[in-house]
Chain A
Amino acid sequence: MKLLEHVGRFTLLMFTTFKFPESWKALRKNVITEMHSLGIKSLGIIIIISGFMGAVITIQTATNLESGLIPAYTVGFAARQSVILEFSPTIIALILVGKVGSNISSEIGTMRVTDQIDALEIMGINSANYIILPKIIAAALINPFLITLSMAVSIGGGYAAGVLSGLVSGADYEYGAKLDFKMYFYFYAMVKTVVFAFVLTAVPAYYGYFTKGGSVNVGKSSTEAVVAGSVIILLLNYVLTQLLLI
């Protein structure tokens, strides 16, 4: 019953959010600000995580390929496939729902409990549209770049780890990483990225927007937003994989 209530309220909130803005100029300005806040400020953590993720995938794949019948370039191939299909779009989305999502939820929750949202409403401004829409648009625009960067850094990190550890030669890794590459894999990853960008902004925004009470509830909303966002991302990851890869 509570789940249905959440779905209903979330849907209504999204109907209110996706409306023409009061001022296009303000929307443009807010989207740019949010792209910086949600995207550029996450670059550091994305680069670090992606680099180590690629390195670990490469080492684990290489040490598990004990059979001499499996060519060495398989390491590069497996690393590329894992990174493009799963690790970069999904794991980075899960990291971002923790970092960006909790930030969005607490920011909007604080606006709610300090009457800033009511202040917007009284001015005649559609508060959901003004606060939430720029975040969703910004994440949908910037996340494909972040995930593409993550893919590149991961594959680069895998190359460095493989070569430096002596588990695979640079030439083999590079050959495997380029082998049988289909643009559809990248398209699939980008579809997931944009869907997850919506989830990791809209779900925390929903929890923040309906926060009641004081600072304790702001923290509670933030935690609930991260948990719900993560579960929804994992669920949609499965659904999208079923729909797009089979």
Chain B
Amino acid sequence: MIEVKNLYKSFGEEEVLRDISFNFKPGTVNVIIGGSGSGKTVLTKCIVGLFELTKGQVLYEGVDFHPLSFEEKKEIRKQIGFLFQGGALFDSLTVEENVMFPLNIFEQGTQKERKERVDFVLNRVNLTGSEKKYPAEISGGMQKRVAIARAIAMKPKYLFCDEPNSGLDPKTAIVIDNLIGEITAEYNMTTVVITHDMNSVLEIGENIMFIYQGELEWSGTRDDILKTTNKNLSDFVYASDFMKQIRSIANK
């Protein structure tokens, strides 16, 4: 489990996150929602240690992450998989090399075992046959799947996905959503998805937190969203007429 306690983050004079406390439950897809500029990505980068905290704590299985040394953090980071918005694939490496990269660096098992693991995860994300292609030679959806394969290659306990559906068509977006949901259950991972795509939230979101202007405005389940009375959350979720119709159907 990941616990966030009274987290504050400022950049200079600007306070971006204020007093965020939340528990990310294992074996579930935890979703952080919020408008653009609300602080979702900053929060995630604080949780994984890419940004230092101004105040507060992030605990991985009870271990306070931020005060740890680089070497101590490394042990926790080996258990983190991160799917970046743009994939962040190494463009000079092939699909296979990208997925094998963390396994090679940390010399996990023999070369044969690493190859088997790569084949397994590529098969898991339906990318068998694309091993020798470079990221520039495959579509955006395939790049996302390669990034997922790389993120799960080390069998992580925690998976972070930053806007996994951005730039994808609705059909591919559902494929990615389902994949995230399935691997979360398979590996019993603590998965954190950052999104402002309500389709994703309703498709895979189990434990949801809504960030509004740098603060935790609301938290609850997928079903709770449909019944929420929180004005800011309603304004965010039901911004479109289509979503308003869904709410009225759900409330009937």
Instruction: Render A96-128 as a binary contact track against B, CB cut-off 8 A, 1 for contact.
Output: 000000000000000000111011011111100
Q: How far, in whole Å, are A23 and B103 apart by their CA atoms in the complex? A: 11
Q: Chain B: which residue is nearest A113 at the CB level?
A: B86
Instruction: Render A35-58 as a binary contact track against B, CB cut-off 8 A, 1 for contact.
Output: 000000000000000000000000
9 closest A-B pairs by beta carbon, nearest first, are: A124-B77, A124-B74, A115-B88, A119-B88, A115-B84, A122-B82, A124-B78, A123-B102, A23-B105
Q: How far, in whole Å, are A23 and B104 apart by their CA atoms in the complex? A: 8
B85 part of interface (Cβ distance < 8 Å): yes
Q: Which residues of B sit under 8 angstroms from A118, Cβ to Cβ?
A: 45, 50, 82, 84, 88
A26 part of interface (Cβ distance < 8 Å): yes
**Besides A26-B105, A118-B82, A123-B105, 19 new A-B residue pairs in contact (Cβ under 8 A), listed by A number:** A22-B106, A25-B107, A115-B86, A116-B88, A116-B89, A118-B45, A118-B88, A119-B84, A119-B90, A122-B49, A122-B77, A122-B80, A122-B82, A123-B77, A123-B78, A123-B102, A124-B73, A124-B75, A125-B105
Q: Chain A: which residue is nearest B50 at the CB level?
A: A118
Q: Which residues of B sit under 8 angstroms from A116, Cβ to Cβ?
A: 88-91
Q: Chain B: which residue is nearest A24 at the CB level?
A: B107
Return A230 CB to nearest CB of chain B, in Å. Answer: 27
A115 lies within 8 A of B85 (CB): yes
Q: Which residues of A sit under 8 angstroms from B90, Cβ to Cβ?
A: 116, 119
Q: Which residues of B sit under 8 angstroms from A124, Cβ to Cβ?
A: 73-75, 77-78, 106
Q: Which residues of B sit under 8 angstroms from A119, Cβ to Cβ?
A: 82, 84, 88, 90
Q: How far, in whole Å, are A23 and B106 apart by their CA atoms in the complex? A: 7
Q: Chain A: which residue is nearest B147 at the CB level?
A: A119
Interface residues of A (CB under 8 A from B): 22-23, 25-26, 114-116, 118-119, 121-126, 130
B70 part of interface (Cβ distance < 8 Å): yes
Q: Which residues of A sit under 8 angstroms from B73, Cβ to Cβ?
A: 124
B152 part of interface (Cβ distance < 8 Å): no
B105 lies within 8 A of A22 (CB): yes
B173 part of interface (Cβ distance < 8 Å): no
Name the interface residues of B59-109: CB closer than 8 Å to any CB of A.
Answer: 70, 73-75, 77-78, 80, 82, 84-86, 88-91, 101-102, 104-107
**A–B pairs, 5, beta carbons within 8 Å:** A115-B86, A116-B90, A122-B48, A122-B49, A123-B154
Q: Chain B: which residue is nearest A121 at the CB level?
A: B50
Q: How far, in whole Å, are A23 and B80 apart by their CA atoms in the complex? A: 19
Q: Which residues of B sit under 8 angstroms from A26, Cβ to Cβ?
A: 104-105
Q: Chain B: which residue is nearest A19 at the CB level?
A: B70
Q: Which residues of A sit under 8 angstroms from B70, Cβ to Cβ?
A: 126
Q: Which residues of A sit under 8 angstroms from B77, Cβ to Cβ?
A: 121-124
Q: Which residues of A sit under 8 angstroms from B75, Cβ to Cβ?
A: 124
Q: How far, in whole Å, are A193 and B80 apart by their CA atoms in the complex? A: 42
B86 lies within 8 A of A114 (CB): yes
Q: How far, in whole Å, are A126 and B105 apart by their CA atoms in the complex? A: 11
Q: How far, in whole Å, are A168 and B85 apart by their CA atoms in the complex? A: 66
Q: Which residues of B sit under 8 angstroms from A130, Cβ to Cβ?
A: 105
Return A110 CB to nearest CB of chain B, in Å. Answer: 8
A114 lies within 8 A of B88 (CB): yes
Q: Chain A: which residue is nearest B74 at the CB level?
A: A124
Q: How far, in whole Å, are A226 and B80 apart by their CA atoms in the complex? A: 37
Q: Which residues of A sit under 8 angstroms from B86, Cβ to Cβ?
A: 114-115
Q: Which of the listed residues A22, A26, A116, A123 has the most CB atoms from chain B within 10 Å of its own CB? A: A123
Q: How far, in whole Å, are A122 and B77 apart by their CA atoms in the complex? A: 6
Q: How far, in whole Å, are A115 and B48 apart by their CA atoms in the complex? A: 14
Q: How far, in whole Å, are A115 and B45 apart by their CA atoms in the complex? A: 12
